[in-house]
Structure 1
């Protein structure tokens, strides 16, 4: 190996050591998001605590406690907007696009349970009728939950339509 090749290998190895791990990056995203949300809660004069976690390949930040329903809004519309603002704050700080998931007052956790039940019912209907079952339009988060639940039940689902009327279709077994 030439001297320049040894230097290149050494430089690459050192760069790998200097680069933060995926977990470190996600935890940093959560910290940035928590700072942004704490400032927002202070400005809005709302009480709430911030919980941070890492779930798979995304940071998960939850705002809990107090009267937080106005941060959820009708059908989670305010929560969706707040999540996008929080992702932008993370992007501004890190320079990297974030897949951060935000929950307020347990809304997404409760919604996940309801969507899982709806998916299980759709699976049962598709199996019984032998025909596709079309669900109501959903947000991308909601569709992901349903697709995962359908896959766990052993069936296949697909999305159809255009936003904001995009929906999940549960397909019967062949």
Structure 2
């Protein structure tokens, strides 16, 4: 990754962080915001600043509020830069925990595919979740593909050919 690309991605993170800081102020919540670049995309993480902050309210059931806030942060970046952002937002380490849960489910499905020799379809997931599963499947040497239409899109894990 070139220095120019990294600076551009960090700038996207800064724009999103400014947006999120304003949101936290409106909600009268305190949080620390960490900006990084991972896998060629900007990542912004919001963590509680003190024990009394319930950041899980910003995650919502099954991450639905988090997804909406990520879309809004991406729109804030797009309105300032004119470019579509692939920014990832995590709040209270929800995505990190969810990533490990999905990896476990993927490994269980991979074991089933290997044991029975048939394709296994997983439950519907958002794009982030499907990417996690695809990465685990690829690492295991099997094949996977997404099928269906959002919001009911899901991953099918297939035996190696």
Aligned length: 155
Name the structure 2 match of 1:166: 153
- The normalised TM-score by structure 1 is 0.87
Name the structure 1 match of 2:35: 52
Q: Within the alignment, does 1:139 sit opposite 2:155 as a pair?
A: no
- The normalised TM-score by structure 2 is 0.94
Name the structure 1 match of 2:9: 26
SS where residue 85 of structure 2 aligns? coil
Asked whether the equivalents of residues 47 and 67 of structure 1 are also in contact (C-alpha less than 8 Å), the reply is no
The runs of 4+ residues in structure 1 deviating greater than 6 Å are: none
Gaps of 5+ in 1: 1-19
Name the structure 2 match of 1:12: none
SS where residue 44 of structure 2 aligns? strand
Q: Within the alignment, does 1:115 sit opposite 2:102 as a pair?
A: yes
Q: CA RMSD in A?
A: 0.9
Name the structure 2 match of 1:80: 67
Q: CA deviation at 1:91?
A: 0.7
Name the structure 2 match of 1:13: none
Gaps of 5+ in 2: none
Q: Deviations over 1:37-69 (max 9, x none)?
A: 000000011111101100021000000012111
Q: Deviations over 1:66-124 (max 9, x none)?
A: 21111100110000000000000011111111000000000000000011111111111
Name the structure 2 match of 1:61: 44
SS where residue 29 of structure 2 aligns? coil
Asked whether the equivalents of residues 132 and 171 of structure 1 are also in contact (C-alpha less than 8 Å), the reply is yes
Asked whether the equivalents of residues 23 and 54 of structure 1 are also in contact (C-alpha less than 8 Å), the reply is yes
